Amino acid sequence: MNKLVVITGATKGIGRAIAERFAREKCDLVICARNIENLIRTKEEIEKAHHVNVYIKSTDASSRKQVSEFTKFVLDLNRPINVLVNNAGNFIPGSTLEEADGTLESMIEGNVYSAYYTTRGLIKRMRQDKSGHIFNMCSIASIIAYPNGGSYAISKFALLGFSKVLREELKAHNIRVTAVLPGATKTASWEGVDLPDTRFIKPEDVAEVVFNAYVISDRSVVEEVIIRPQLGDI
């Protein structure tokens, strides 16, 4: 049976690139995103290209109720969960002193609670199987405060903290945890920015790093990995 990889926010950018990378290795996928049309298109394209099974469910990962429904959908497949990639999230630029009321709450719900509740929903099965690998898609903003980062940076600092806690709690259960900290990556978040593509990380490069961290022997774990554009942060 193919291995099973669960990815949140998997129809665009880094999430889509990770989905494609694991599908190339004949892994079946369970993916979610908010837009059902994008999910259907992603399913059809990946299944056609790689001849694997892709299970989809429309999910707003900032909604605890919808995350709960998604994790039940995954568990109902009754299959070992080999990889969980907590990739869903969003970005609202601004200063903490000037951003709109509710921005912090939105960033925490979308970038932290999404990973927290997805992990809690699936971890019992992973602990039962005593195997699995969890990737939390953090950011360079998890370790460096920068102008206009605001509540986004706060949420990504928190996600890195969550990753560190998970690592300690799950090591005895043979479950690996990796925090991935990409710098500026060419995704929709950077649309409209007047910079050449060469100034950004390719989503496929992030996906390759994730896959390589997964395929090393289970005697080792990549706890954190930082990826930056060759010319440095933007």
Asked if 201 contacts 182 with a C-beta cutoff of 8 angstroms, the reply is yes
Number of structural domains, the chain?
1
Q: Is 232 inside any structural domain?
A: no
Q: Residue 123: give the domain boundaries.
A: 4-227
Q: Is 233 inside any structural domain?
A: no
Q: Is 123 inside any structural domain?
A: yes
Q: Is 20 inside any structural domain?
A: yes
Q: Is 135 inside any structural domain?
A: yes
Q: Is 69 inside any structural domain?
A: yes
pLDDT confidence of residue 78: 98
Q: Give me the tens of pLDDT residue by residue for the chain, a chain 234 residues long.
A: 999 999 999 999 999 999 999 999 999 999 999 999 999 999 999 999 999 999 999 999 999 999 999 999 999 999 999 999 999 999 989 999 999 999 999 999 999 999 999 999 999 999 999 999 999 999 999 999 988 899 999 999 999 999 999 999 999 999 999 999 999 998 877 777 878 989 999 999 999 999 999 999 999 999 999 999 999 998
The values of phi and psi at residue 48, to 5°, are -65, -40
pTM greater than 0.85: yes
Q: Is 234 inside any structural domain?
A: no
Q: Is 194 inside any structural domain?
A: yes
Q: Can you give the CATH number for the domain in which 131 is found?
A: 3.40.50.720
Assigned token pair, 169: 């709690």
The answer to whether the Cα torsion of 142, 187, 150, 159 is positive or negative is negative
